[in-house]
Amino acid sequence: MRASERAYAALREDILEWRLEPGTVLGEVEQSERLGISRTPLREALARLLSDGLVAAQGGRGLVVTAVSVSDIAQLFELRQALEQQIARQAAQHRDPAVFETLAAEFRVAPDLLERSDHAGYYELVARFDAAMDAASANTYLVTALRSLRPHLVRLRRISRDNNSRLRAAAREHLLIVEAVAAGDSELAASATHVHLHQSLTSILATAQMLSTHR
């Protein structure tokens, strides 16, 4: 694997997992030494993070990990609504029913996963759901736009994490989306997506509110 690729993957994960917190300055020499590579591939990695919006230029010199404000969360979800409703419509039109019936069966037993607090298992299921929607949408541009949005959503998991009752509700909402796609009902799929994202946003904002109050 290329050094620049490894550096990108490593830095990206460090940011998504909050090991590099918002505001952290990423110096080229510092990071290249930390990752054991030279500045050239590291610069390439930083450029990609910049276009991802995970880091931002700090007044001409120096890159910093971007922050995620409450306003950012609302804006992210406006974009997410637009993209995921559209992808749900397209997926419902082009889907392979068998794929989504299999997914539906898995979401029906998702409460079992959550029962034993297997959050990783649940997130893995959601990742397969996303992948299936991407594939079924048959629209590379839509998928590309969504792929560039997802890292930011992953960062939000830290806020919604371990909210077991919310995850149970989310599983039911996902199930409805999958059933609508399986049935080829575009508008139901879009509306179910709308509902799901509305509930997710509401939950996240409530948690964010609580976190900021408690501090």
Residue 151: which of 31, 44, 7, 14 has the closest Cα?
14
| Sole binder of DNA in the list 40, 75, 140, 144 (CB under 7 A) | 40
| Sole binder of DNA in the list 17, 19, 23, 27 (CB under 7 A) | 27
Task: Please give the distance of CA 130 from its chain centroid, rounded to a whole number.
Answer: 10
For residue 112, count other CB atoms closer than 10 A to its CB: 10
| Sole binder of DNA in the list 10, 22, 34, 43 (CB under 7 A) | 43
The stretch among 75-83, 94-102, 168-176, 195-203 that binds a second copy (CB under 8 A) is 75-83
61: three-class secondary structure by DSSP: coil
Q: Rounded CA gap, 83 and 116, in Å?
A: 32
Q: Which does 23 bind (CB under 5 to 8 A by kind): DNA, a second copy, none?
A: none
Q: Which does 94 bind (CB under 5 to 8 A by kind): DNA, a second copy, none?
A: none
Q: Rounded CA gap, 178 and 4, in Å?
A: 37
2 is a site residue for DNA (CB under 7 A): yes
12: three-class secondary structure by DSSP: helix
101 is a site residue for DNA (CB under 7 A): no
Element housing 157 (H / E): helix 140-160
Token digits of residue 111: 């409460």
51 is a site residue for DNA (CB under 7 A): no
213 is a site residue for DNA (CB under 7 A): no
55 is a site residue for DNA (CB under 7 A): no
Contact (Cβ atoms closer than 8 angstroms) between residue 83 and residue 145: yes
* Residue for token pair 């690729």: 5
Q: Would you say 57 or 109 has its CB closer to DNA?
A: 57
- Residues contacting DNA: total by CB under 7 A: 19
3 is a site residue for DNA (CB under 7 A): yes
* Residue for token pair 């080829």: 184
> Which residues ranging from 151 to 170 are in contact with a second copy (CB under 8 A)?
152
DSSP state of 109: T
**Which stretches of the chain bind DNA, using CB under 7 A?**
2-5, 27-29, 37-41, 43-44, 59-63
**Which stretches of the chain bind a second copy, using CB under 8 A?**
40, 43-44, 47-48, 51, 53, 72, 75-76, 78-79, 81-83, 85-86, 90, 138-142, 144-145, 148-149, 152
